[in-house]
C-alpha cells in the first residue's frame, strides 16, 4: 500500500479544517508549552548569570540535562505502550511543574538546589514530545497526518516566536517569577489536556494491532532504523545554525553587532515558518514525504552554499529564508513518514526514537562544528554541511524509489 498517495487540493489555511477537536486542543497545548518554556530557553544564563556557576559548571549541568532529556524520550515508549499516551503525558508534565515550582520556592533560601531540580525534571520534559506526536497520529486518519503535524509544528513556532520576549522580561526581574510563570503555564496546558483530550480507544488500537503481522508488531522495520540514522545526521548539520552561525557573525561584524544581527536573523526564521508552513504543506502534499524531504535538502544545500561565501548581511538573510523552507518540510514530513510507516502498536517507540536521534544530533553538533573549525574555516565547514545535505537528499530519493517497488 502506498502511504504517500496524493490528497485532494486544499487552499490557504483551510488546510487545517476538519482535523478533529483533539488535534486543535493539542495545537493549543503546544503553543502554551513552547511559549512557557522559559527555563530551557535561558538555562545557561540562569546558571551563570543568576546562580553564579562557572561556565564549566554550567556546561556540565547542561550536558547532564540533555542526557536526561534523551533518557526521558527513550523511556516514554515502554511507558506509553503499557498505559497509553494521555496518562503518562499528564504525569510527565506534572513532574515538570513540580520541578519548576520547587525552583521558584527554593530561589530565595536554597538557590543551590535549582540546577538539581531542573535536572530532575529533564527526563519528564523529554518524554512529553514523543507522547504528543503519538497522540497526533492516534487522533488523525492517514490522509490527515500531514495537515495535523503541520498544525502542531505551526503551534511550536507560534510559542517560540512569542516566548523569548516574555522570558527576557521575567529573567530581568526575578527568577521566582520566571519559574512560577513557567509552572503556571504548564499547569494550564495540563488541565486542558486532562479535560479536553480523551483516552485513546483501546478497542480501536487492539483492532489495528490485530491487522499487523506478529513480526512487525515486535520490531521496527530496517527502513525506519535507516531513516532515524539519517535524521540524526540531519540534526547534526542543522545544529550549526545555532553554533557556527553566531560565531561567524561575531567574526564578520563584531560581538555586539554580530549578536544583534544573528538575533534578527532567527526572528526572520521564525516569521518565515509562521508565514510559509501552511502554504508549503499545500504545495508539496502531492509529492509524498520522502520527495518533500529531498526537496528540503535542496533548500539546505542552496542556503548553506550561500553561507559559505557570505561577507554581508543581505545574502545571509536570503539564504536563511531559503533553508527555512527546508526546515518546514523536514519538521512536518519526518513525523508523517514515521507514523505512516509504523504499526500502531509501535508508534510510541518510533516517535521516541525519532526524538532521541534528533536530540543526539543536536547534542553532538557543537563538538562536530568546533572540531571542524580547528582545522577549517567557515566557508569549508558550510560546504561540508551542504555536501552532507545533498547526500541525504539523494538518500531520500533512493529510499522513495525502493518503497515504490
> SS3 letters for 190-256?
HHHHHHHCCCCCHHHHHHHHHCCCHHHHHCCCHHHHHHHHHHHHHHHHHCHHHHHHHHHHHHHHCHH
**What pLDDT, on a 0 to 100 scale, did the predictor assign at position 13?**
61
Which 8-state DSSP code applies to residue 42?
A: T
Query: For residue 2, is it within any domain?
Result: no
pTM of the predicted model, to two decimals? 0.84
Report yes or no: 126 and 68 within 8 Å, Cβ to Cβ. yes
The C-alpha cell at 41 is 530557553
Q: What is d(CA 318, CA 339) in angstroms, rounded to the nearest whole number?
A: 33
Q: Do 194 and 91 belong to one domain?
A: yes
Report yes or no: 104 and 179 within 8 Å, Cβ to Cβ. yes
Q: Which residues, in sequence order, are CB contacts of 324 under 8 Å at separation 6+?
A: 268, 269, 272, 273, 276, 299
**What pLDDT, on a 0 to 100 scale, did the predictor assign at position 294?**
97
**What pLDDT, on a 0 to 100 scale, did the predictor assign at position 56?**
79
DSSP 134-156: HHHHHTS-GGGHHHHHHHHHHHH
Written as tens digits, the pLDDT of the chain (405 aa) is 344 443 444 445 677 888 889 999 999 999 999 888 888 878 878 888 888 888 778 878 888 888 899 999 999 989 998 888 999 999 999 999 999 999 999 998 899 999 999 999 999 999 999 999 999 989 988 888 888 998 999 888 888 878 877 888 888 888 899 999 999 999 999 999 999 998 764 434 444 444 444 444 456 788 999 999 999 999 999 999 988 888 888 888 887 888 788 888 888 888 899 899 988 988 888 888 999 999 999 999 999 999 999 889 999 999 999 999 999 999 989 999 999 888 888 898 999 999 999 999 988 888 899 899 999 999 999 999 999 999 999 999 999 999 887
**What pLDDT, on a 0 to 100 scale, did the predictor assign at position 3?**
47
Q: Do 276 and 152 belong to one domain?
A: no
Q: Which residues, in sequence order, are CB contacts of 66 under 8 Å at separation 6+?
A: 359, 363
Q: Which of 204, 238, 263 is the last residue of a domain?
A: 204
Other Cβ atoms less than 10 A from the Cβ of 194: the count is: 14
Q: Do 98 and 176 belong to one domain?
A: yes
Q: Do 186 and 227 belong to one domain?
A: no
Coil, helix or strand at residue 81: helix
Query: For residue 80, is it within any domain?
Result: yes
Query: For residue 46, is it within any domain?
Result: yes
Q: Residue for cell digits 506509553?
A: 80
Q: What is d(CA 89, CA 205) in angstroms, rounded to the nearest whole number?
A: 18
Report yes or no: 304 and 389 within 8 Å, Cβ to Cβ. yes
Q: Which residues of 245-266 are buried (b: 16+ CB within 10 A; e: fewer)?
A: bbbbbbebbeeeebeebbeebb
Q: Do 173 and 188 belong to one domain?
A: yes
Q: Do 218 and 341 belong to one domain?
A: yes
Query: For residue 13, is it within any domain?
Result: no
Q: What is d(CA 261, CA 263) in angstroms, rounded to the nearest whole number?
A: 5
Q: What is d(CA 230, CA 225) in angstroms, rounded to the nearest whole number?
A: 9
Q: Which of 204, 220, 235 is the last residue of a domain?
A: 204
**What pLDDT, on a 0 to 100 scale, did the predictor assign at position 23?**
93
Q: Which of 204, 228, 243 is the last residue of a domain?
A: 204
Coil, helix or strand at residue 321: helix
The total domain count for the chain is: 2
Q: Do 193 and 276 belong to one domain?
A: no
Q: Do 198 and 331 belong to one domain?
A: no
Q: Check which CATH number belongs to the domain holding 29 and give it.
A: 1.20.1250.20
Q: Do 117 and 257 belong to one domain?
A: no
Give the phi and the psi of residue 220 in degrees, each rounded to 5.
-75, 150
Q: What is d(CA 367, CA 382) in angstroms, rounded to the nearest whole number?
A: 15
Q: Do 288 and 247 belong to one domain?
A: yes
| Residue numbers of the domain that contains 243 | 211-405
Nearest to 341 by CA among 248, 221, 232: 221
Q: Which residues, in sequence order, are CB contacts of 343 under 8 Å at separation 6+?
A: 208, 209, 212, 216, 217
Coil, helix or strand at residue 285: coil
Q: Do 132 and 223 belong to one domain?
A: no
Q: Do 199 and 215 belong to one domain?
A: no
Amino acid at each position: 500500500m502506498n502511504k504517500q498517495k496524493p490528497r485532494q487540493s486544499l487552499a490557504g489555511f483551510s488546510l487545517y479544517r476538519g482535523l478533529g477537536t483533539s488535534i486543535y486542543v493539542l495545537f493549543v497545548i503546544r503553543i502554551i508549552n513552547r511559549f512557557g518554556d522559559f527555563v530551557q530557553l535561558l538555562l545557561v544564563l540562569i546558571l551563570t548569570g543568576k546562580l553564579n556557576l562557572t561556565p564549566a559548571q554550567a556546561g556540565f549541568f547542561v550536558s547532564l540535562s540533555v542526557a536526561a532529556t534523551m533518557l526521558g524520550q527513550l523511556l516514554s515508549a515502554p511507558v506509553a505502550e503499557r498505559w497509553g499516551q494521555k496518562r503518562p503525558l499528564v504525569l510527565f508534565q506534572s513532574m515538570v511543574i513540580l520541578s519548576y515550582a520547587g525552583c521558584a520556592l527554593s530561589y530565595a533560601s536554597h538557590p543551590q538546589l535549582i540546577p538539581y531540580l531542573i535536572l530532575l525534571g529533564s527526563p519528564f520534559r523529554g518524554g512529553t514530545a514523543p507522547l504528543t506526536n503519538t497522540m497526533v497520529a492516534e487522533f488523525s486518519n492517514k490522509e490527515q497526518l500531514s495537515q495535523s503535524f503541520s498544525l502542531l509544528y505551526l503551534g511550536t513556532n507560534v510559542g517560540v516566536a512569542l516566548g523569548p520576549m516574555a522570558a527576557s522580561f521575567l529573567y530581568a526581574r526575578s527568577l521566582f517569577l520566571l519559574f512560577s510563570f513557567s509552572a503556571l503555564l504548564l499547569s494550564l496546558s495540563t488541565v486542558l489536556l486532562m479535560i479536553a483530550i480523551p483516552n485513546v480507544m483501546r478497542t480501536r488500537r487492539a483492532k489495528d494491532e490485530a491487522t499487523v503481522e506478529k513480526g512487525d508488531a515486535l520490531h521496527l522495520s530496517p527502513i525506519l532504523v535507516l531513516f532515524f540514522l539519517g535524521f540524526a545526521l540531519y540534526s547534526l548539520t542543522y545544529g550549526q545554525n545555532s553554533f557556527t552561525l553566531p560565531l561567524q557573525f561575531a567574526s564578520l561584524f563584531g560581538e555586539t553587532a554580530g549578536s544583534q544581527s544573528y538575533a534578527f536573523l532567527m526572528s526572520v526564521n521564525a516569521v518565515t515558518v509562521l508565514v510559509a508552513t501552511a502554504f508549503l504543506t499545500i504545495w508539496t502534499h502531492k509529492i509524498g514525504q520522502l520527495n518533500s524531504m529531498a526537496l528540503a535538502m535542496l533548500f539546505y544545500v542552496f542556503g548553506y552554499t550561500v553561507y559559505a561565501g557570505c561577507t554581508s548581511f543581505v545574502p545571509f538573510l536570503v539564504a536563511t529564508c531559503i533553508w527555512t523552507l527546508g526546515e518546514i518540510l523536514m519538521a512536518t514530513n519526518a513525523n508523517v513518514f514515521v507514523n505512516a510507516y509504523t504499526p500502531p502498536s509501535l508508534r510510541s517507540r518510533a516517535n521516541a526514537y525519532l526524538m532521541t536521534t534528533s536530540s543526539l544530533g543536536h547534542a553532538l553538533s557543537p563538538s562536530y562544528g568546533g572540531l571542524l573549525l580547528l582545522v577549517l574555516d567557515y566557508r569549508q565547514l558550510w560546504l561540508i554541511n551542504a555536501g552532507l545535505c545533498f547526500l541525504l537528499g539523494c538518500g531520500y530519493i533512493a529510499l522513495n524509489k525502493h518503497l515504490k517497488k
